Amino acid sequence: QVQLVESGGGVGQPGRSLRLPCKASGFTFRNYVLHWVRQAPGKGLEWVSSISPDGNKKFFALFVRGRFTISRDNSNDTLFLHMNNLRPEDTAIYYCARDGDIYGSGGYFDYWGQGTLVTVSS
């Protein structure tokens, strides 16, 4: 069965960096667009970033552009979110999610990980 397992969350100071891995299993990883979605405490869902199956195309929400980057390791079935220059408003649960359409972007998220909590605080 499809599984996505995030890790790497914790407490980070403002201005510092964190890297979140998401280990996938149960599907052909290299065939799918993958995404990061976050949820601040008590708030709604917010798309963060997406990456194409080959890793060559990357997309970011305006509020993280220039601070976060996304990458993937198709030989190890792992997605990454690299978070730089962290701000208190980046405090959230970060979910990795698989795109609903093989090869392309179906525009939705059919499987989600359990999430990892990032807290930005001094």
Partner 1 sequence: SYVLTQPPSVSVAPGQTAKMTCGGHNIGGKSVHWYQQRPGQAPVLVVFDDRDRPSGIPERFSGSNSGNTATLTISRVEAGDEADYYCQVWDSVSDDYVFGSGTKVTVL
Strands across the sheet containing 68-73:
3-6, 18-25, 78-83, 68-73
Q: Does 12 bind partner 1 (CB under 8 A)?
A: no
Q: Does 27 bind partner 1 (CB under 8 A)?
A: no
Q: Does 22 bind partner 1 (CB under 8 A)?
A: no
Q: Does 106 bind partner 1 (CB under 8 A)?
A: yes
SS3 10: strand
Q: Does 89 bind partner 1 (CB under 8 A)?
A: no
Q: Could you say which residues in the range 32-51 bind partner 1, by CB under 8 A?
A: 35, 37, 44-47, 50
Report the alpha-carbon distance of residue 79 to residue 35 in Å, rounded. 9
